Amino acid sequence: MFDWLPFALFALACPLGMGLMMLLMWRSMRGGHKDSGHEATMNALPPRERLNRLEAEKRDLERQIAAEREAGRGVQSKQESLDSASSKLKER
């Protein structure tokens, strides 16, 4: 009597699953555009204080970038010394 039921469920599984995935993706994207707590706090500050905090944050990020670059140079110089030592060993 209901021999067609498994085929109907199978045929509907794909579109229903796709619709569910689209709904979940839409909800997650819609929720991602809200202000974070940091942005809300910064927007509530007076302009001068906000500028001071942003400048301090910029200085901190510049220090972090400089440290990362210096660490990268150290790794690069170690790599170069290992390469030269390796080439000297290959020459022997």
For residue range 25-83, what is the model confidence (pLDDT) as tens digits?
Answer: 988 887 755 556 677 777 888 999 999 999 999 999 999 999 888 888 777 777 777 78
State the first-to-last Cα distance of the chain, in angstroms, to the nearest integer. 85
Please state the pTM of the whole predicted model. Answer: 0.43
Whether residue 91 has pLDDT greater than 60:
yes
Closest CA to 75 of 67, 90, 60, 61: 67
In the chain, domain spans: 46-92
Structure tokens at 84: 């030269």
pLDDT at 36: 60
